[in-house]
């Protein structure tokens, strides 16, 4: 439970780090892009205002007379406001269109221009200047021009409100913010899913470790309890009966020792400290050795044990003799244990394609299809009520680890007519 909580915490931390880092980079990039885009937008607008002004002023300069309607149309189309003074006198147009705010803006623009640009009369009598102006928290583009005409000069002030442009920029900012927010949410989901997948094998591993420790403790508890109770009984009994108790204690101790060895071996495979020492060995000799080792047990159990080897002598094969003998012993021991008296167990060796195949086939109880995958799991026993001290459900998982270390595979299938056939395939 605690592990689960820690993993959940790690998952959230990783999610936030992943999504946070990515969104930070995204935000910086968006911010840079946005400022570049807005700078360009401002420049383009200002350039377009300058061009408009050049055209507008050229038209004014070219006309000797221009009507009130023409100026009003120009103002409406260009979305700007104009003030014209002829030799310092207001045009009729001004008095008709200006209100107090407009007049104040023109005055402010003129005084700002005079103070900022300190105009000097250029050699060319006509000139115009465009600049940015902020007046009462609003932004404007302003054009101030002096146009020389017959009989004097025209002083023109044009103001253009950039409110539309600011609205456009504000819209862009909101859009960017919304996109970034949506990206953050998507990233968060993705990172959560991704870290979940990343941590799944760790969680699985942790679960397996916990189950393994629980099962191991459970298996060790029984012989330990027997040893303890026999020890206390031994203390109270007559000296001539002590040997009986001591023999049983020794036998339980041996079971425990075997189990601990198995556990150690699996723990070595888990921590990748399990090593195999390969050398050239003849596989038929190995199978023959195993056959000879189990012949007495087969006889004792009333089971016929047979062996079939290829006709030609097998070439030496690069393997770990002790480990492969261990695998064969586990399979033969199982076959003899799960085959009733009167049954048979056949051992065989074949070379098939590029594989060396060891087969242990019995006509015993067999294994249901649904159980075939499970039997290779640690501490898994099909018949849990079958309480044999030599069977802890670790044999096949150890065999699988050894075969895997040889880059081979182990499989179980049904024997024709009933029973199980275990095949160990080692690549040649
Ligand atoms: P165990 O030490 O209990 O035999 P194994 O890992 O060797 O553990 O085997 C796991 C389970 O697979 C056994 O408990 C048994 O139910 C089943 N099994 C293994 N070999 C055979 C076989 N030859 N015939 C029938 N069942 C088998």
- For ligand 1, mutation pick of 301, 346, 393, 401 (most atoms within 8 Å of CB): 393
- Alpha-carbon distance of 98 to 255, in angstroms, equals 109
- Alpha-carbon distance of 13 to 7, in angstroms, equals 10
Q: What is the pLDDT of residue 385?
A: 62
Query: Residue 320, SS3?
Result: coil
Nearest Cα residue to atom 20 of ligand 1: 334
Q: Token digits for 136?
A: 């009462």
CA dihedral 297, 300, 306, 307 (to 10 degrees): 20
pTM of this structure: 0.61
Q: Token digits for 183?
A: 């990206």
R_g of the chain computed on alpha carbons: 47
Nearest Cα residue to atom 16 of ligand 1: 382
Q: What is the pLDDT of residue 352?
A: 85
Q: What is the pLDDT of residue 391?
A: 76
Nearest Cα residue to atom 12 of ligand 1: 375
Using the mean position of ligand 1's atoms as its centre, give its distance from the Cα of residue 425 in Å: 19
CA dihedral 74, 78, 83, 84 (to 10 degrees): -50
What atom of ligand 1 comes closest to residue 397's alpha carbon? 6
Let me know: does 322 contact 391? Beta carbons within 8 Å: no
pLDDT tens, residue order, the chain (428 aa):
566 668 888 889 999 999 899 989 988 998 999 999 999 999 999 999 999 999 999 888 888 777 788 888 888 888 899 998 887 777 766 656 667 778 889 999 999 988 887 665 555 567 889 999 999 889 999 999 988 877 678 889 999 999 999 999 999 999 989 998 999 899 999 999 999 999 998 888 888 888 888 888 887 887 898 899 889 988 888 888 888 889 989 988 988 898 888 888 888 888 777 788 889 999 999 999 999 999 999 999 999 999 999 877 677 888 899 999 999 999 999 999 999 999 999 999 998 888 999 999 999 999 999 999 999 988 888 876 656 666 778 899 999 999 999 999 999 999 999 999 999 999 98
Using the mean position of ligand 1's atoms as its centre, give its distance from the Cα of residue 334 in Å: 6
Let me know: does 377 contact 395? Beta carbons within 8 Å: no
What atom of ligand 1 comes closest to residue 396's alpha carbon? 6
Q: What is the pLDDT of residue 313?
A: 62
Q: What is the pLDDT of residue 125?
A: 67
β-bridge pairing 317-319 and 355-362:
unpaired
Let me know: does 46 contact 141? Beta carbons within 8 Å: yes
Q: Token digits for 321?
A: 């003799």
Q: Token digits for 305?
A: 């044990």
- Ligand 1 pocket (Cβ < 6 Å) reads 330, 334-335, 338, 362, 364-365, 367, 375, 380-383, 391-397, 420
Q: Token digits for 424?
A: 């160990």
Using the mean position of ligand 1's atoms as its centre, give its distance from the Cα of residue 363 in Å: 14
> What is the sign, positive or negative, of the torsion defined by CA atoms of 374, 380, 385, 390?
positive
| C-alpha neighbours within 13 Å on the C-beta side of residue 418 | 8
């Amino acid at each position: 439970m605690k592990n689960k909580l820690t993993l959940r915490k790690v998952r959230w931390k990783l999610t936030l780090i992943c999504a946070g880092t990515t969104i930070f980079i995204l935000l910086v990039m968006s911010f840079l892009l946005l400022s570049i885009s807005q700078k360009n937008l401002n420049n383009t607008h200002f350039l377009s205002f300058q061009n408009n002004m050049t055209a507008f002023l050229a038209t004014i300069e070219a006309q000797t007379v221009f009507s009130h309607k023409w100026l009003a149309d120009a103002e409406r189309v260009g979305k700007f406001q104009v003030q014209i003074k002829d030799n310092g006198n207001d045009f009729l147009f001004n008095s008709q269109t200006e209100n107090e705010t407009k007049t104040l803006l023109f005055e402010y623009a003129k005084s700002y221009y005079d103070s900022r640009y300190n105009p000097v009369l250029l050699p060319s009598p006509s000139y115009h200047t465009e600049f940015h102006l902020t007046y009462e928290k609003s932004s404007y583009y302003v054009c101030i021009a002096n146009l020389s005409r017959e009989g004097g000069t025209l002083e023109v002030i044009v103001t253009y409100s950039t409110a539309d442009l600011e609205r456009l920029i504000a819209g862009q900012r909101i859009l960017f913010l919304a996109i970034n927010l949506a990206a953050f949410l998507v990233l968060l989901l993705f990172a959560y899913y991704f870290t979940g997948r990343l941590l799944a094998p760790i969680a699985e591993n942790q679960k397996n470790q916990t189950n393994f420790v629980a099962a191991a403790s459970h298996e060790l508890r029984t012989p330990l309890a027997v040893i303890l109770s026999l020890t206390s009984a031994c203390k109270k009994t007559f000296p001539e009966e002590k040997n009986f108790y001591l023999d049983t204690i020794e036998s339980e101790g041996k079971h425990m020792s075997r189990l601990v060895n198995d556990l150690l071996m699996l723990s070595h495979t888990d921590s990748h400290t399990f090593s195999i020492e390969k050398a050239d060995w003849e596989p038929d000799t190995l199978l023959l050795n195993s056959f000879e080792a189990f012949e007495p047990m087969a006889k004792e159990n009333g089971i016929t044990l047979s062996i079939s080897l290829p006709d030609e002598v097998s070439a030496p094969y690069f393997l770990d003799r002790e480990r492969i003998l261990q695998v064969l012993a586990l399979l033969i021991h199982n076959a003899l244990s799960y085959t009733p008296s009167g049954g048979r167990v056949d051992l065989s060796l074949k070379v098939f394609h590029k594989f060396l195949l060891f087969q242990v086939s019995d006509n015993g109880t067999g294994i249901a299809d649904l159980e075939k995958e499970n039997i290779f799991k640690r501490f898994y026993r099909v018949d849990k009520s079958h309480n044999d001290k030599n069977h802890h459900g670790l044999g096949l998982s150890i065999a699988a680890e050894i075969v895997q270390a040889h880059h081979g595979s182990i499989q179980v299938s049904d024997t024709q007519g009933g029973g199980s056939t275990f095949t160990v395939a080692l690549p040649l």
